[in-house]
């Protein structure tokens, strides 16, 4: 059955960053102290960086792993600090809601190993997630985490769920693309496929970060957030891998919805130029598990958590990962 819903929702602010502090919680949850811990795990000899935020008293609502996209790594995407903008840190928000919240830098990104001379494609990123989940399970009693991925991170998360459904309890795909059909952004990107294919890394700068927010629908994000994201990203380097760009331009589809058997939520921004509605709808219809959700988010383009309507994203994501188990099947 096809279903979608769109609601607007606002939650009180949760601010703060890297040490245990008291956080203001949305109504219905008491204030709690949140702890931050950085971790390193291995994929063979490759070192992968992860950050964890959780309630100091213990998480009671499960574990979520957040997976970044093609350009900004885990911390700029999910642990961003923007003065005056509550809940800019997705990890802080979900830790404040009682979750054990993690993010990973895929190999080739951020604080993870960048030494191998490869493009760090989607399949390689799914390998990273397998290593990350196995490490997380050593910390949470062996439970399969929920996984949220955005853009190419959604492809990596979906591929992991396809390969290892036992490692994913719930899956959320944001700004996801299946076949790439009728994708304005990918049509333009394919024009530079020879360039992407000729190198393993591509340059980024402030102008490029601005272009991501202006290509679909100018005005969806505040300038202060764009600059904060750019500064956090460029502090980790001025080049990022080409692998996911090549995959999304030349190798789609990378996953088969019929083989993704875990409960799956799909989030699509109204103006997203990568994820066309027809493409997402066709993918959604083929998902075999009827515990599924397709949500169209108004006023949002591709980089949902950094845009003006980011509280809408938090609301829908929180609703899906908080869903009670079905009593009748």
For 104-129, the pLDDT digits (tens) are 999 999 999 999 999 999 999 999 99
Sign of CA dihedral 284, 285, 288, 294: positive
Every domain of the chain and the residues it spans:
21-321
* R_g over Cα of the chain: 18
pLDDT at 11 over 70: no
What distance in Å separates the CA atoms of residue 106 and residue 129, rounded to the nearest whole number? 8
Lowest mean pLDDT among 14-28, 40-54, 123-137: 14-28
Question: Looking at the predicted structure, is the pLDDT value of residue 304 above 90?
Answer: yes
- Is pLDDT above 80 for 13? no
What band does 25 get if pLDDT is binned at 50, 70 and 90? very low
Q: Which CATH class is domain 21-321?
A: alpha beta
Whether the Cβ atoms of residue 274 and residue 175 lie closer than 8 Å to each other: yes
Percentage of the chain surpassing pLDDT 90?
88
Among 99, 3, 5, 67, CA closest to 291: 3
Q: How confident is the model at residue 57 (pLDDT cuts 50, 70, 90)?
A: confident
Q: What is the phi/psi pair of residue 10, to 5°?
A: -130, 135
Q: Are 252 and 279 in contact (CB under 8 A)?
A: no
First CA to last CA distance, the chain:
15
Say yes or no to pLDDT of 242 above 90. yes
Per DSSP, the residues of 196-261 read HHT-SEEE--HHHHHHHHHSS-TTSS-HHHHHHHHHHHHTT-SEEESHHHHHHHHS-----GGG--
| Beta-strand pair 171-174/146-150 | parallel
> Looking at residues 17-31, what average pLDDT do you find?
46
Structure tokens at 304: 């949902």
Give the chain's mean pLDDT: 91
Is it the case that residue 17 has pLDDT exceeding 70? no
Predicted pLDDT at 173: 98
Q: Name the least confident of 55-59, 95-99, 101-105, 247-251.
A: 55-59
Res. 270 pLDDT band, cuts 50 70 90? very high
Each residue's pLDDT tens digit, 28-49: 455 679 999 999 999 999 999 9
What are the residues facing 172 on neighbouring strands? 148, 265
At 223, list the tokens: 């300038």
Closest CA relative to residue 227, chosen from 209, 250, 244 = 209
Q: Residue 37 pairs with which residues in a beta bridge?
A: 52
pLDDT in tens, 314-328: 999 999 999 998 899
pLDDT at 222 over 70: yes
Q: What is the pLDDT of residue 31?
A: 60
What's the average model confidence in pLDDT over 273-293? 96
Task: Check residues 25 and 227 and name the one with the higher pLDDT.
Answer: 227
Instruction: Read off φ and ψ for residue 124, nearest 5 degrees.
Output: -65, -40
Given this model, what pLDDT does residue 12 score? 32
């Amino acid at each position: 059955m096809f279903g979608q819903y769109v609601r607007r929702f606002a939650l009180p602010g949760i601010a703060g960053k890297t040490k245990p502090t008291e956080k203001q919680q949305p109504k219905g949850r008491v204030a709690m102290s949140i702890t931050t811990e950085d971790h390193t795990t291995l994929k063979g000899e490759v070192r992968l960086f992860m950050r964890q935020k959780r309630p100091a008293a213990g998480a009671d609502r499960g574990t979520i792993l957040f997976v970044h996209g093609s350009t900004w790594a885990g911390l700029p995407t999910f642990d961003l600090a923007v003065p005056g903008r509550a809940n800019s840190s997705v990890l802080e928000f979900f830790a404040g809601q009682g979750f054990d919240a993690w993010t990973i830098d895929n190999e080739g990104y951020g604080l993870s190993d960048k030494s191998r001379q490869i493009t760090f494609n989607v399949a390689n990123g799914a390998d990273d997630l397998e290593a990350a989940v196995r490490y997380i399970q050593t910390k949470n009693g062996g439970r399969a985490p929920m996984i949220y991925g955005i853009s190419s991170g959604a492809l990596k998360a979906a591929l992991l769920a396809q390969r290892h459904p036992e490692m994913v309890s719930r899956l959320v795909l944001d700004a996801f693309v299946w076949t790439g059909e009728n994708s304005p952004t990918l049509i333009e990107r394919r024009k530079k496929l020879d360039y992407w294919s000729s190198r393993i890394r591509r340059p980024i700068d402030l102008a490029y970060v601005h272009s991501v927010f202006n290509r679909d629908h100018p005005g969806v994000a505040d300038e202060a957030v764009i600059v904060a994201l750019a500064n956090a990203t460029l502090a980790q380097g001025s080049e990022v891998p080409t692998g996911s760009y090549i995959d999304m331009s030349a190798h789609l589809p990378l996953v088969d919805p019929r083989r993704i058997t875990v409960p799956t939520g799909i989030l699509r921004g109204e103006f997203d130029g990568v994820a066309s509605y027809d493409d997402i709808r066709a993918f959604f219809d083929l998902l075999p598990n009827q515990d599924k959700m397709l949500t169209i988010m108004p006023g949002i383009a591709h980089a949902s958590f950094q845009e003006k309507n980011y509280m809408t994203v938090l609301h829908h994501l929180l609703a899906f990962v908080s869903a009670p188990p079905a009593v009748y099947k």
